Structure 1
């Protein structure tokens, strides 16, 4: 899988650091307050976002940022799909792009790299849990990168006066389920 180019020369995709957290928190706050892709309704503080970043990275999960001109243009991470041990080879992805940078290929580059990083860490399945069945951008992005729609649960979230569905999409990583997993305990 190759990442599509963006129209942002010099876009830097790299692991997130504590210095990126204010930018990450600002992007997420916008999506919490203005979108339906996340079911959070109150934006977490920068301290909370730093805790989330640290917890995932310390647990061996990838968290990436796309930096353009020294600013965070978007971020993506993979975290546990569920906490029970049998799920340890499956991750759930999250991707958020700065609203001024939407539609420029940043999400595609981030998700492509996230898939590769998760594969390199021994994960075998990636699941997208997409808030709002009308979220054509996220659904289309995931489909373009090999995710298949595996289901939908209807009206399970209520945010800003709307009932919201959740769309599930999934793609294998590496050998997927064609061979027993190695590593990760």
Structure 2
């Protein structure tokens, strides 16, 4: 079941996200996020009028996706950055695609024109997902993040929604 996130989902979202922080370079955060911090992040996204979606399987959150403003200056108001994360046991089950499809539909309804995703590299699975969703690589920044004693590049993918 796909539905909007609630502040009450913060603990379950942390259970999905914190292993990415603590065990991988996929997130450049270095400290686990508390339930309170995650609840505030969810509220900030919702207060900005943007969607945060979760995928629930048999009563358990398995994945989530959300959009945040790309930049703060007014001219950027039609651009967002998107992220998607799945619990380790739920990877490669199509949840990311389902979440992004629903997220992109909602973003188009909100008048968003440009969707941007940053990917810590290498990350072939994330690249495949974003390209499956019609995103294309537009930039690569070399060695902009250091985690676990190694430098990592970050690539940016984008998708433009057509205006009718």
Q: 2:38 aligns with which of 49, 55, 64?
A: 49
Q: 2:81 aligns with which of 92, 95, 104?
A: 92
Matching residue of 2:154: 166
Distance in structure 2 (CA, Å) of the matches to 1:112 and 1:172? 14
Distance in structure 1 (CA, Å) of the matches to 2:50 and 2:26? 21
Matching residue of 2:132: 144
Hey, which of these two has a bigger chunk of strand by percent? 2
Q: Partner of 2:156: helix, strand, or coil? A: strand
Structure 1, unaligned runs of 5 or more: 1-11, 180-185
* Structure 1 segments (4+ residues) deviating >3 Å: none
Distance in structure 2 (CA, Å) of the matches to 1:19 and 1:110? 19
Distance in structure 1 (CA, Å) of the matches to 2:92 and 2:159? 23
Hey, which of these two has a bigger chunk of helix by percent? 2
Structure 2, unaligned runs of 5 or more: none
Matches within 5 A, 1:24-35: 24-35=13-24
Residues 44-53 or 80-89, more deviating: 80-89
Q: TM-score, normalised by structure 1?
A: 0.86
Count of residues in correspondence between the two structures = 164
Q: 2:145 aligns with which of 147, 157, 171?
A: 157
Q: 1:118, 1:173 within 8 Å by CA — same for their partners in 2?
A: no
Q: Partner of 2:55: helix, strand, or coil? A: strand
